[in-house]
């Protein structure tokens, strides 16, 4: 019902159209709920083995991880290479308190959020005025340095990391959740994914989301119309951090271990590739991308180094051949001439696609 108060009725006067819009809204809501239930039950239907649950939980976790980067990439147009820091913060925030003081999952999650926001604030302030490759390089450098510090600091487990993280324990008042295996963790991972997607969906419609888009489209115009571009960029960056951190938090419980390998290039490449594979400004991009990539790595694996080559090649080829991502590619393939003829002069994206393919050299 929250949905209704939220939605903007296009035709305030005409009740019948308003009603049909409302029907459509409830229908899509219903479809979404059914879709969620199906996805939730999917690992059980697929045999319910440890491997299947493991894959599903990992997909959910890495999707959420990439979602944080997606927010920055899609809404600021900037490439953050520093999100592995937040990812690792989430992991360590789960590991250290739970192994030292045996606190429950809520506490560690709160720590993950707080610490990642703090780190994002610091990094965001330091890189406030930087753009494009300087921003990317600065965030990248920060990640490498934090990795080095983690690696060399005994209090953080040093190069060995931290082992023996207890099972995730989440008291819900009436009932407690305690889980260790992937099958146990699946409800939590799925809930985290839904929550994150919901959060980002809300963010897209929020003032900040709109402002971020304006700043990305035309920074000088946005500034001249009274927007503080620096502030918007900073806030979006800070907002994106806890998303990735919570993914790291759950990842720590799934593996029962954290270590400096959370800074591995693998995660960074995964974040970027999953989004670029599917396309920016698509809510489910990271989920679909991560799913495709993990299926390759799990079922069509050609070894660790071989998978690196695959992942890197996917990234390079997508950007070189179809920079708009798979979704655009498929949409353009399914709706060919008709759509093109109708919208060529109106549809912005279509025109820019044509520009790119038909440039005179």
269 near other proteins, judged by CB under 8 A:
yes
Tokens of 159: 């190069």
Determine the straight-line distance between the first and last CA of the chain, rounded to whole angstroms.
55
Residue among 40, 51, 307, 329 that touches other proteins (CB under 8 A): 307
Tokens of 169: 């324990």
Could you tell me which stretch among 21-29, 248-256, 282-290, 309-317 binds other proteins (CB under 8 A)?
A: 309-317
β-bridge mates for residue 177, sequence order: 170
Q: With beta carbons less than 8 A apart as the criterion, state whether 89 and 115 touch.
A: yes
Site for other proteins in 123-152 (CB under 8 A): 125-130, 132-134, 136-138, 140-142, 144-145, 148-149, 152
198 near other proteins, judged by CB under 8 A:
no
Could you tell me which stretch among 11-19, 82-90, 213-221, 317-325 binds other proteins (CB under 8 A)?
A: 317-325
Residue among 9, 160, 176, 356 that touches other proteins (CB under 8 A): 356
Residue among 39, 40, 77, 223 that touches other proteins (CB under 8 A): 77
Site for other proteins in 86-125 (CB under 8 A): 125
d(CA 297, CA 307): 6
- Judged by DSSP in three states, 82 sits in coil
What residues contact residue 199 under an 8 Å CB cut-off, 6+ apart? 243
Could you tell me which stretch among 7-15, 35-43, 98-106, 316-324 binds other proteins (CB under 8 A)?
A: 316-324
Could you tell me which stretch among 209-217, 231-239, 268-276, 329-337 binds other proteins (CB under 8 A)?
A: 268-276
Q: Where are the alpha helices (DSSP H) in the chain?
A: 2-6, 15-45, 50-76, 83-100, 105-126, 132-152, 182-205, 207-217, 219-224, 229-255, 265-278, 285-299, 304-321, 326-334, 337-343, 348-358
CB of 115 to other proteins, least distance (A): 18
d(CA 145, CA 157): 16
> Which residues of this chain interact with other proteins, rule CB under 8 A?
77-79, 81, 125-130, 132-134, 136-138, 140-142, 144-145, 148-149, 152, 265, 268-269, 272-273, 276, 303-309, 311-316, 319-320, 323, 344-346, 351-352, 354-356, 358-361
């Amino acid at each position: 019902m929250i949905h209704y108060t939220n939605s903007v009725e296009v035709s305030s006067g005409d009740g019948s159209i308003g009603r049909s819009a409302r029907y459509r809204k409830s229908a899509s809501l219903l479809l979404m709920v059914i879709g969620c239930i199906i996805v939730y039950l999917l690992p059980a239907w697929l045999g319910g083995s440890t491997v299947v649950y493991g894959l599903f939980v990992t997909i959910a976790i890495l999707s959420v991880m990439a979602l944080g980067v997606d927010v920055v990439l899609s809404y600021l147009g900037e490439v953050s290479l520093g999100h592995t820091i937040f990812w690792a913060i989430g992991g360590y925030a789960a590991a250290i308190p739970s192994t030292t003081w045996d606190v429950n999952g809520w506490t560690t999650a709160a720590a993950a959020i707080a610490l990642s926001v703090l780190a994002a604030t610091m990094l965001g302030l330091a890189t406030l005025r930087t753009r494009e490759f300087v921003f990317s390089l600065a965030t990248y450098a920060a990640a490498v340095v934090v990795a080095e510090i983690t690696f060399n600091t005994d209090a953080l487990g040093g190069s060995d990391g931290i082992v023996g993280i207890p099972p995730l324990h989440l008291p819900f008042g009436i009932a407690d959740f305690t889980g260790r295996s992937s099958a146990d963790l699946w409800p939590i991972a799925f809930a985290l994914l839904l929550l994150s997607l919901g959060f980002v969906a809300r963010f897209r419609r929020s003032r900040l989301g709109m402002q971020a888009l304006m700043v990305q489209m035309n920074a000088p115009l946005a500034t001249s119309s009274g927007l503080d571009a620096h502030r918007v960029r900073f806030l979006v960056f800070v907002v994106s951090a806890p998303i990735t951190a919570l993914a790291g938090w759950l990842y720590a419980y799934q593996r029962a271990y954290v270590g400096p390998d959370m800074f591995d290039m693998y995660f960074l490449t995964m974040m970027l590739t999953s989004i670029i594979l599917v396309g920016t400004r698509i809510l489910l991009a990271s989920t679909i991308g991560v799913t495709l990539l993990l299926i390759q790595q799990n079922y069509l694996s050609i070894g660790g180094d071989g998978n690196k080559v695959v992942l890197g090649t996917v990234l390079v080829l997508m950007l070189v051949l179809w920079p708009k991502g798979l979704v655009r590619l498929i949409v353009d393939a399914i709706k060919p001439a008709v759509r093109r003829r109708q919208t060529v002069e109106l549809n912005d994206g279509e025109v820019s696609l044509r520009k790119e393919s038909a440039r005179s050299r």
